Structure 1
Amino acid sequence: MRIVLVADDRILRDGLRALLGRDSTTEVIGEATCGPEAVERVAEHRPDVVLADVGSWTSANVEMIRQIAEAHRDTRIVILSPFRNQAFVAAAFRAGTHGYVVKRNGFDEVLRAIEAVRAGSTYLCPRVRELILPDYTHAHGAARKPADACLTEREAGVLQLLAEGQTSKEIALMLNVSSKTIDACRRQLMKKLEVNSVAGLVKRALAMGITTLAS
C-alpha cells in the first residue's frame, strides 16, 4: 500500500521510512512536515494511507485531518501521538481519523493499524483501548455501589463516554463497533439503571463515581 508520511521531526520520518521500507506491502510515496504541505502531498499522490505524527491538537492539525478526510475519502488516516487523553482521541476521530497509535508502542503496532484501516476498519492501539474501557472492577473494587456492580465492563465504559458527552457514533468509532451496538448498549443501560434519557444516565454516572465530568 502507498503511504504519505507527515512529521516535522526528520529523524522520525527517516526512521519510519526505513522501517516501512522493510515491509514489502508498503511504499512511502511522499512526505510532509506540516498540515498545508500534507494536504498538497495527498492531493498529488493519492495515497492509500496517511501516517501522521500529531504532537499537539492545534487548529492546523485539525484542519489537516479534516481536509484530507473530506477531499479524499479513499485515503485512510492513522495518527501517531504521545497522548492517551480521551478528549484528544475523540477529537481525532471527529476530525476524520481512522486509526490512533500511542507512540510508546512498537513499530509492529503501527503496521497493525495501517493494515486495519486499509481493510476498512477503525483502529485503536491497546494502550488507548485500555483508556477507553478501563477495568472498573479493579478501579472501583469494593467501593462500587450495587447499581454499578450490575454493569459489565463494556457497559461501564460506554456509560462513562456518554456521560462525558460522546455521541453513539463517536463511541462506536473508538471501540470499533457499529453505532447500532452502542445504541443497544445505551438502551440496556437505561433499563438497568432505571432511567429514560441520556441526562438520566449522566446523573447516575456522576452518582456512581464513574465520571466526574459531564458536558
Structure 2
Amino acid sequence: MKLIYTWIEKYRNLEKIGLNWDNEFEVEFTEDTQTINIKKNDDYFNLFSDYSCIENIKVIVGKNGTGKTNIMHLLGNGINNCDLLNPSVSDLFLNIYHYKNNEYIIEGNGMINLIINHSIDNHKTYCILAEYEDKEKRFKYKEPFNGYRNEISFVIYFNRLNSISNIPNKRDNIKRFAFRRTENNLIQKCDFIYNINSSDVQQKNI
C-alpha cells in the first residue's frame, strides 16, 4: 500500500492543490466534473529497485508560510485521529493510496461525489476501501478500512512538538511519530530508528 495522490480543495491555508506522490501512477482530479483519472504509467521505472526499503522519493519545497507543514500534518496524523487532526466543516481533501490491483484506500473529508454507492456523512472524515471505476472516473465503495490505516508508518521532523505529535517508546507503537529538529537527544533518536528496523511490524528498513 502506498500513497499516490492528494487533492486539497481547502485545508488551512491550502486551496485547490493536486499532489502526485508516485511515478507509477498518473492521477488527475477534474474539479468541474468531480471526476478523477487514474492511469498507470507505462514508462514507469523504479530507480530504487536495488533497495527494498525505498520505492519513491518526493521533496516538498516552498517558502516559509506556504503550507509545507500543513501538508505533512494532513498526511502524517492519520484521518482516523479526528480529535488530533480536527478538520473543520470547510476543510475538503482526499488522500488516495493504491492497495492492490484496482483497489484503493480513500481517506478524506467531504469530496463524496467521487465515491459511488456509499453512505458517508459529507461532514465527517472517512477511510474506506474502494474500487476504481475507469468508465465513471470515480470510486465504488466496498467497505470501511479504518483498522488497516495504521499499517502505514510515518516519520516527520518538527521545529516543535505539540499535541498532535508523539514519540512512541515501544516497538509495537510504530505508527506515526515526530522528532524535534532542535532536540539534542541523538541517542534516543538512534535507538528508536534501530527499534523500527528490527521490529516485526516494520519488516523493511526505513
Same fold, judged at TM 0.5 (above): no
Structure with a larger share of its residues in helix = 1
Q: Looking at both structures, which has the greater relative contact order when contacts are Cα pairs under 8 Å and sequence separation is at least 6? A: 2
Q: Output the TM-score relative to the length of structure 2.
A: 0.31
